[in-house]
Structure 1
């Protein structure tokens, strides 16, 4: 398949509507329509490109508004139908006015879990952590809420009215529900919502990495669990990456160091959640023993290749349609310790790194090249638009706009305290970032 055909194949329904729609922002809230500036899922489309091709050119950055909500916003804010959608750790979904940040409606999904009732963890309270996803066909945004008692509920909220139209229990299929945390972004594909599960910070108790799914009408539940005795969490913030009719997930370290158990891997699952392919490094046993797995960063689609890089710092280049099994990469190189979600534009991938993002290109034969490493140690998940690479340093709360050519700083702005793995949403002439108290809108984007 040539590259043009491949890129067409990986486009999600949402991505096609974004690129091809002529709907105005006012009309974009109607079922089946999205505006060009909408951002309906993590990093804008199901390939997780994070590329806002219509963003206004970079200007002077400033704080347009700060909206204080009822909890921290860990998931990436969405832009749909002329409003900003955000979800909090207090289990409330909000629609915000993009001009002022004032709430238009809110929907509370239930009492969140408290740290005192969990076996471990570092988010308190623990409510909605994974990025929501919007379904244009039903005009609903879907969120996974963690409730007191360790229960997990998927809700579909009408984006026009705020009414909760769908609500269903969606527990991880194996292990103890209370030991699981849902941090990865939700994925919408062919009328189904896919929800990955990992463990709590501290890797305690009996959790097993899995993906659960129902239709957008909350029917026909299916699931997949990593065939390990414990751990192997699926928790990278980018969630499932859609590659044609396959969903790619990064999997964390499993408990085994003797018999391979599908952990420390990139898994390809069918829409029916059958495993159809995998890649694991030949260092998997050592990775599992030392917590140096691939599960910390979602797979990156770049042309006909997949880049996989995790906690060890080694970047593996794979064929997108034949991942290679154990040790079957096309090439590898040292890139960085990667935590978060990546973005791509043209032939370049921008990867999240613990000490500042990296720009990477891959030759036709799979040879990778690190083009630059940013001079600033911004450790968030980068997005792209307006002639800049946007990345947050969540240790300091500073948003940076970097030059795509060399990673130099073009502009910066202090946002306040932001959560781990924060990633800017880009739309129109604004950037939107979740904070520990709500959402901040940045002008000049």
Structure 2
């Protein structure tokens, strides 16, 4: 504890000198030290709180937004507006009004006017999983690539996200156009072939969901672009003009957010709701915890809510108070990180849930659930890890009274379930978990068919964002390594019918010292075409593996500077969260996932064959 306090003082004093030199003084330092330093100065491994160094360079407007109406608003309680503005300038190292342009209208590479055709015609990658079953599999005709041509992939263009420090929005490709969100709050429509920009739309907060394109019947609009932001707002905008059709606030909880892509089926939009409350729960002053995950069904054309199904049946109630008077609540947790999976055959929707935030954790945490598509009624639940109550800052030596009485391993299920039909007609629901286990479930009743260990698993390890599957194998990358384990990364091919391993591609170390910023953990979702699996790593490497035996067919190092088509200074970094999207002979990937001490960046890369 004494060492920690000394380090904190050193960092704070250094920060004061640096801030004063830049003209921002100690005005922001003092409230930062009081309200923010405990999480943002030397954050513990696995913390979702970015270090101050990671926030430097961000627009102060973005930081001010986060602490006034965003995820950090509860922690800024009691501060004046002047103090919050001072914190924003101190943390960013910049003054208000210095942000570079984000709108498409200011970019040098605007596309010539071109009417939008039917984006659903021809090859595309829509939403998170490319199809309603979330297989992340692109058939040969739509992929336009083969195992023979993938080794000739070269960089065709790069697009820089203005003011970006996190590249985490998976690109959707439909009708020859890309739709992609950014951490600056802008959604962009680009030409897939050249990277020129058609339009931009500014949301109220960062957009990290993949984007779903679907038909609508409203006004003169034919097709809409659907997405969510990190303040739990849901949007429908015109796919051609970017005009807002409707917007809804999905959840009133102050730290609710949307990270999973909306799923569209038969005129309805199904939106998963997550939160960042577990990042606050260990703070002695925070009234932990009251959020519960859900899926909401909207009429896609009007935004009218049809139903909301909570992952925890009962709302949180007061549980106990700490010795300092902080009211604690429960039950809470079971957030839905990822895109739900649609089963039109059974009229169901499948979803996965995170850990609980309070003890004891309810039986719908770390679980896979099936709901009725029409009503949202819960049909079955399969819990994969019981009683996993976890919030950040509550490790074995935690002193905060707001921590759960017993802390679990944080083995959330953050992957979208993959629904596949096998030879003979048997169906399987494959899902990966941060425990390192891959599971095969019977979609009819949720019973376990098989389980297979891919990795050791930790709070940041195991299977983080998901795999991809054809009609015989499911491919899961291994995220182990981000919390100091010697083994990091790797890719497993597992037989869907039995859960047996087909092959294992070991991790490929690119950094001899294995620092936190350069570890070959494969956290990002895998993507698949016939004969080839694409998997990115937190060291910035994007690789294509043979689906037959796991041999590397192609690789590209993204953690570097890029010249961009829109003239924005851009750099790649870690690849995490979303995976590659493959359409019509091209591969698209973001690079620069800066959370958890990884390498930040702000670039979208497009590859094509020579």
Question: TM-score range, shorter-chain basis?
Answer: 0.7 to 0.9
* Equivalence for 1:224: 309
**3-state SS, counterpart of residue 124 of structure 2:** coil
**3-state SS, counterpart of residue 387 of structure 2:** helix
* Equivalence for 2:291: 207
**3-state SS, counterpart of residue 254 of structure 2:** helix
Please give the per-residue CA displacement for 1:181-222, whole angstroms capped at 9, x wherever unaligned. Answer: 211121112211111122226263532111123111211342
* Equivalence for 2:197: 103
Contact 2:270–2:295 at 8 Å: present in 1 too? yes
Distance in 1 of aligned mates of 2:443 and 2:195 = 40
**3-state SS, counterpart of residue 415 of structure 2:** coil
Distance in 2 of aligned mates of 1:242 and 1:412 = 33
* Equivalence for 1:265: 367
* Equivalence for 1:369: 500
State the Cα distance separating 1:294 from its structure 2 match: 4.4
* Equivalence for 1:115: none
Aligned equivalent of 1:90, options 174, 179, 184: 184
User: Greater CA radius of gyration, 1 or 2?
Assistant: 2
* Equivalence for 1:278: 381
* Equivalence for 1:332: 451
* Equivalence for 1:409: 552
Answering whether residue 427 of structure 2 is matched by residue 351 of structure 1, we say: no
Distance in 2 of aligned mates of 1:291 and 1:384 = 30
Contact 2:226–2:236 at 8 Å: present in 1 too? yes
Equivalent residues in 2 for 1:312-327 (5 A)? 312-324=435-447
State the Cα distance separating 1:287 from its structure 2 match: 7.5
Distance in 2 of aligned mates of 1:402 and 1:28 = 38
Please give the per-residue CA displacement for 1:16-71, whole angstroms capped at 9, x wherever unaligned. Answer: xxxxxxxxxxx99445x623311121121111111221222224122110011233
The 3 A distance-change label for structure 1 pair 286 and 379 is closer
* Equivalence for 1:384: 528
Contact 2:493–2:502 at 8 Å: present in 1 too? yes
Distance in 1 of aligned mates of 2:441 and 2:357 = 25
The 3 A distance-change label for structure 1 pair 259 and 351 is closer
Contact 1:388–1:402 at 8 Å: present in 2 too? yes
Distance in 2 of aligned mates of 1:161 and 1:343 = 33
Q: What is the TM-score when the length of structure 2 is the normalising length?
A: 0.59
* Equivalence for 1:155: 235
The 3 A distance-change label for structure 1 pair 220 and 298 is closer
Contact 2:363–2:383 at 8 Å: present in 1 too? no
Distance in 2 of aligned mates of 1:130 and 1:105 = 18
Contact 2:380–2:445 at 8 Å: present in 1 too? yes
Contact 1:61–1:413 at 8 Å: present in 2 too? no
Please give the per-residue CA displacement for 1:151-182, whole angstroms capped at 9, x wherever unaligned. Answer: x3222122222222x2222222xxx6222221
Equivalent residues in 2 for 1:183-262 (5 A)? 183-200=259-276, 202=279, 204=281, 205=288, 206-216=290-300, 217-227=302-312, 229-236=331-338, 239-244=339-344, 245-255=347-357, 258=360, 260-262=362-364
Please give the per-residue CA displacement for 1:399-438, whole angstroms capped at 9, x wherever unaligned. Answer: 1000001111111012222453130010011111123314
Please give the per-residue CA displacement for 1:113-163, whole angstroms capped at 9, x wherever unaligned. Answer: xxxxxxxxxxxxxx11111111034411111134xxx5x322212222222
- Structure 2, unmatched stretches of 5+, are 1-113, 217-221, 282-287, 315-330, 391-406, 422-426, 456-461, 480-488, 508-519, 559-571, 592-600
The 3 A distance-change label for structure 1 pair 308 and 59 is closer
Count of residues in Structure 1 that have an aligned counterpart in Structure 2: 385
Contact 2:227–2:235 at 8 Å: present in 1 too? yes
Distance in 1 of aligned mates of 2:179 and 2:257 = 22
Q: Point out the structure with the larger strand share.
A: 1
Distance in 1 of aligned mates of 2:122 and 2:467 = 21
* Equivalence for 1:123: none
- Structure 1, unmatched stretches of 5+, are 1-26, 113-126
Distance in 2 of aligned mates of 1:256 and 1:68 = 40
* Equivalence for 1:360: 494
Q: Point out the structure with the larger helix share.
A: 2
Distance in 1 of aligned mates of 2:410 and 2:182 = 30
Distance in 2 of aligned mates of 1:109 and 1:286 = 34
Contact 1:284–1:293 at 8 Å: present in 2 too? no
